[in-house]
Amino acid sequence: MTTFHPDTQYLVEYAAGSLSIGPSICVAAHIEHCVQCKQQLNGLNSCGAALIEDLEPANVSANLFEKVLANLDEKQELAPQVLRYSSEIPKAISKLVPNGFEDLPWKKYGKDLETCRLTVGEDKYEVSLIRMQAGGVLNKHTHKGLEMTVVLKGALSDKYGVYKVGDFSVCNADDQHQPMATQDMECICLTAVEAPVKFKGWRSVINPFIEFQPA
């Protein structure tokens, strides 16, 4: 179980551009709130830049520069879009949530839980928003793969701690927990799951991740 901050390995892969889309979105959302991880990422990027400077220059075609300029000059017709940016919505998903959380096609599971899958071009992880009512409890569950979570609004708690806005957690197959929203307000989280989670008890019949759909 990783709590509050992503492991250094995730930051290294994120800086290198080798981290999958789903986890990258979660790491990016956390970094927006975390000065510590942002500084660590800046250090990793500086190291990468230094390594590139030490590389031997490669031969390229004589007209490469002209081709790049030609591509930049090509005009693309883009439909205008007004983004109502909210500080609750990380920049990594702001285009997927252009009009705020309330305008999303939430799917309700029971009285406390709603989910909304996000299409991010990912074929390994399912990326979703999870909304729990104030005081709502998600049934106890285990994991068949990695589950990354970043709190975007409100606060969440489980046996490992209390997670506030920007806090990051990773659960794996060895972890079993029962997240609960705090009593004062609803909680909205961004998640990336590698495989369906397995709910315990009779509530397993309403498992919102049973139809695992990376997209």
Greater confidence, 196 or 27? 27
As a whole number of angstroms, the longest Cα–Cα distance in the chain is 67
Tell how far CA 59 is from the center of its chain: 38
User: In sequence order, what are the residues at sequence separation of 6 or more whose Cβ sits closer than 8 angstroms to the Cβ of residue 88?
Assistant: 101, 152, 153, 165, 188
- pLDDT for res 142: 74
- pLDDT for res 3: 81
Domains and CATH numbers, the chain: 1-75+89-215 (2.60.120.10)
β-partners of residue 127 are 118, 192
And the tokens for 70?
Answer: 């030609």
pLDDT tens column, 86-114: 568 999 899 999 899 999 999 998 888 89
Give CA–CA dist 29/24, Å, rounded: 9
And the tokens for 181?
Answer: 């929203």
- pLDDT for res 137: 86
* Residues 193, 117 contacting (CB under 8 angstroms): no
pLDDT tens column, 46-93: 876 555 555 566 666 767 666 666 665 554 454 444 434 456 899 989
pLDDT bin (cut points 50, 70, 90) of residue 117 is very high
- pLDDT for res 182: 92
- pLDDT for res 79: 46
Q: What is the mean pLDDT of the chain?
A: 81
- pLDDT for res 85: 44
pTM, rounded to two decimals? 0.77
pLDDT bin (cut points 50, 70, 90) of residue 138 is confident
- pLDDT for res 196: 74
- pLDDT for res 183: 92
Residue 203 has pLDDT above 60, yes or no: no
pLDDT bin (cut points 50, 70, 90) of residue 116 is very high
Around Cβ 215, how many Cβ atoms within 10 Å?
13
pLDDT tens column, 120-131: 988 889 999 999
Residue 6 has pLDDT above 60, yes or no: yes
* Residues 52, 81 contacting (CB under 8 angstroms): no
